[in-house]
Amino acid sequence: MSELKHILLVEDDTNFGVILQEHLRLHGFNVELCTDGEAGLNAFIKSEFDLCLVDVMMPKKDGFTLANDIRQRDEDIPLIFLTARSMTEDKIKGFKVGCDDYITKPFSIEELLLRIQAVLKRAGKPESEADEPTRFTIGGFIFDTTRQVLTIKDSEQKLTPKESDLLKLLCMHENQILPRNTALRKIWGDESYFSGRSMDVFISKLRKYLKADPHVEIMGVHGKGFRLVVNK
Amino acid sequence: MSELKHILLVEDDTNFGVILQEHLRLHGFNVELCTDGEAGLNAFIKSEFDLCLVDVMMPKKDGFTLANDIRQRDEDIPLIFLTARSMTEDKIKGFKVGCDDYITKPFSIEELLLRIQAVLKRAGKPESEADEPTRFTIGGFIFDTTRQVLTIKDSEQKLTPKESDLLKLLCMHENQILPRNTALRKIWGDESYFSGRSMDVFISKLRKYLKADPHVEIMGVHGKGFRLVVNK
DNA sequence: ATCATGTGTTAAGAAGTGTTAATCGATTGG
DNA sequence: CCAATCGATTAACACTTCTTAACACATGAT
């Protein structure tokens, strides 16, 4: 089982890229190096990889775009961004694309190895130790978080990603107050005024869906947050 | 029965730390404050705690290191980080250490309290005061604390969170005097003049609702507090 | 009785929330 | 390439919640 892990490394700084490649090889990885996004995508299409390491700043095709392209072809492959310092904005954007981790230059090989291990481990056990439930029952509803579908009786309501994330958080806090800022941080990644308003809009949508069972209610708790309650 | 929860607070900014300690105390926690990581670890070793609140940025021993040390001795104790704004990097690192939640300064006491509650509950110690009744009968009324509704005959009165909290406290002290300061501490978290006046306004509102049953009365006890009585 | 202080009540104000609709941006399908 | 569509954000407006202010009145000490 212990075949060499195949890593796709996309990094436009050749010097740095080669050094990194060498280090990773020494640690038992099979590393293919590409120096721009297009080459990276081509390589990705040609071979099977276990993990992608993608520099964010690149000519021709930047890291985020590449990540998007890769995700379209394989939505599960582990993906780690290499970012320059102080790119908070980019980081957030990157996370939305769906990378599994990122690491800020300069970094130590040790640190990178740790993250690679962590990410591979996570990917290796897709569901087994996912400690977050994938299915909730809310009164008469069944909510499948992976399919993002809310079912009651025989009618299905497809949820958008944000609707689904928010409902999931509410479910995980059932009967407790889900603080506004907790939800904002976990789903929107910031606590700005507009994100807050956006969240209110989503709450409003969820309430509309949940009206199908009058026992289920999302209560607003002034100045605190929201609470999902099921009245028996 | 209901012993006070013991919180270890490690925060190097003494001013902030003391204020936080005071607030948490007013909300019914027993809080020990340490101003650096080493002291924090010593305190942790000496006493039994139910939860740790750890500032990330500290001299001598930073929050992550402390968290690691604590985890080595008790891998289950709930742990919440206090972080400065824009520390995305730190946050991720922190999660790996295994904290249960983090909160970004500046934060409101309300929010911190909600998270403490959530984390304590998750930690499987629902005995804090989980056996609080959720339903009271007051004369002809039925008061549902979770739905925050006061029902008489077939007319429902929705209560705001503060109205509900206050009425609940009164119910739990039925026929006894609920001291002003007790109520202020538990609901407002301070004993200031304005909070007091605010409370009086809420009492006034509750009296209005309770007029629907002439047997029910909130009596004011000058200089002491309030007493909820039901005349049969 | 007189005075400082505490309480009851109502109303004004500031901030937070619920909801609908307009807008933006990305993706899709012709 | 454009139109159509979808998800998400922003704008707008009404409404709720809580605090603060204001004023009347009650209480207890002196």
Give the pair of three-digit tokens for residue B155. 């007319």
Average pLDDT, chain B: 86
> Is B1 a residue whose pLDDT tops 60?
no
Chain A stretch 140-179, residues whose beta carbon is closer than 8 A to a beta carbon of chain B: 173, 175-177, 179
Taking CA atoms, A173 is separated from A178, A228, A231, B110, in Å, by 6, 7, 15, 17
**pLDDT per position as a tens digit, B52-75:** 999 888 888 878 788 878 888 887
Query: How many C-alpha atoms does B18 have within 13 Å on its Cβ side?
Result: 2
Instruction: Report the C-alpha gap between B127 and B132 in whole angstroms.
Output: 10
Give the pair of three-digit tokens for residue B46. 């000496």
Which nucleotide's C1' sits nearest to the alpha carbon of A224? Answer: C16
**pLDDT per position as a tens digit, A163-221:** 999 999 999 999 999 999 999 988 998 889 999 999 999 999 999 999 999 999 999 99
Which nucleotide's C1' sits nearest to the alpha carbon of A188? Answer: D8
- Look at residue A91 in the predicted model and tell me its pLDDT: 47
| Beta-sheet strand order (sheet of B216-221) | B177-179, B225-230, B216-221
> Residues whose CB falls within 7 A of nucleic chain D?
A 158, 160-163, 188, 194-195, 197-198, 201-202, 222-223; B 158, 160-163, 188, 194-195, 197-198, 201-202, 222-223
Helix (H, G, I), strand (E, B) or coil at B121: helix
How many other C-beta atoms can be found within 10 angstroms of the C-beta atom of residue B68?
A: 14
Lowest mean pLDDT among A190-204, B113-127, B137-151: B113-127
Beta carbon of A203 within 7 Å of strand C? yes
Chain A stretch 73-102, residues whose beta carbon is closer than 8 A to a beta carbon of chain B: 88, 91, 101
Q: In this predicted model, which residue has the larger pLDDT, B215 or B82? A: B215
CA–C1' distance B196–D19 (Å)?
11
Instruction: Report the C-alpha gap between A82 and A104 in whole angstroms.
Output: 6
Contact predicate A67/A81, CB 8 Å: yes
Residue B147 to residue A229, Cβ atoms within 8 A: yes
The verdict on pTM exceeding 0.75 is no
Q: Is A121 on the interface with B (CB under 8 A)?
A: no
Give the pair of three-digit tokens for residue A211. 């009206």
* Chain B CB contacts of A182 below 8 Å: 101, 111, 114-115
Which nucleotide's C1' sits nearest to the alpha carbon of B198? Answer: D19
Contact predicate A43/A88, CB 8 Å: no
Beta carbon of A179 within 7 Å of strand C? no
Query: How many C-alpha atoms does B187 have within 13 Å on its Cβ side?
Result: 25
Instruction: Report the C-alpha gap between A69 and A64 in whole angstroms.
Output: 9
pLDDT band, very low/low/confident/very high, at A130 (cuts 50, 70, 90): very low
Q: Is B3 on the interface with A (CB under 8 A)?
A: no
- The distance between the two most distant Cα atoms of chain A, rounded to a whole number of Å, is 65
Give the pair of three-digit tokens for residue B154. 């077939």
Residue with tokens 């002491």: B224
Which CA-bearing residue is nearest the C1' of D8?
Answer: A198
Question: Which one, of B196, B216, B190, lies nearest residue B25 by Cα?
Answer: B190
Helix (H) or strand (E) holding A218: strand A216-221
- Look at residue B67 in the predicted model and tell me its pLDDT: 85
- For residue A186, the distance in angstroms to the closest alpha carbon of chain B comes to 11
**pLDDT per position as a tens digit, A45-99:** 777 888 888 887 776 777 777 777 777 676 667 888 787 654 554 444 444 455 5
Instruction: Report the C-alpha gap between B102 and B67 in whole angstroms.
Output: 12
pLDDT band, very low/low/confident/very high, at B128 (cuts 50, 70, 90): very low
> Is B94 a residue whose pLDDT tops 50?
no
Q: Which residues contact B61 (CB under 8 A, 6 or more apart)?
A: B36, B37, B38, B40, B41, B69
- For residue A224, the distance in angstroms to the closest alpha carbon of chain B comes to 7
* Chain A CB contacts of B162 below 8 Å: 222
Give the pair of three-digit tokens for residue B162. 């503060």
- Alpha-helical regions (H) of chain B: 14-26, 37-46, 63-73, 88-97, 109-122, 161-172, 180-183, 193-210
Q: Which nucleotides of D are covered by protein (CB under 7 A)?
A: 6-12, 16-22, 27-28
> Is A127 a residue whose pLDDT tops 50?
no
Nearest to A179 among B104, B115, B161 (CB): B115
Taking CA atoms, A143 is separated from A133, A149, A151, B117, B220, in Å, by 10, 6, 6, 26, 49
- For residue B217, the distance in angstroms to the closest alpha carbon of chain A comes to 27
CA–C1' distance B201–C10 (Å)?
10
pLDDT band, very low/low/confident/very high, at A132 (cuts 50, 70, 90): low
> Is B226 a residue whose pLDDT tops 70?
yes
Contact predicate A215/A231, CB 8 Å: yes
How many pairs of residues across A and B have Cβ atoms under 8 Å apart?
A: 46
Helix (H) or strand (E) holding A82: strand A79-83
A79 beta partners = A52
Report cis status (omega within 30 of 0) of the bond before A59: no
Residue with tokens 């399919």: A147
- Look at residue A82 in the predicted model and tell me its pLDDT: 80
**With pLDDT > 70 as the criterion, what percentage of chain B qualifies?**
89
pLDDT band, very low/low/confident/very high, at A123 (cuts 50, 70, 90): low
Beta carbon of B208 within 7 Å of strand C? yes
- For residue B126, the distance in angstroms to the closest alpha carbon of chain A comes to 12
- Look at residue B92 in the predicted model and tell me its pLDDT: 45
Axis-axis angle for helices A63-73, A88-97 (nearest 10): 10
Instruction: Report the C-alpha gap between A79 and A61 in whole angstroms.
Output: 16
- For residue B205, the distance in angstroms to the closest alpha carbon of chain A comes to 17
Question: Which one, of A113, A89, A115, A120, lies nearest residue A102 by Cα?
Answer: A115
Residue with tokens 């007493």: B227
> Is B139 a residue whose pLDDT tops 90?
yes
Instruction: Report the C-alpha gap between A178 and A220 in whole angstroms.
Output: 10
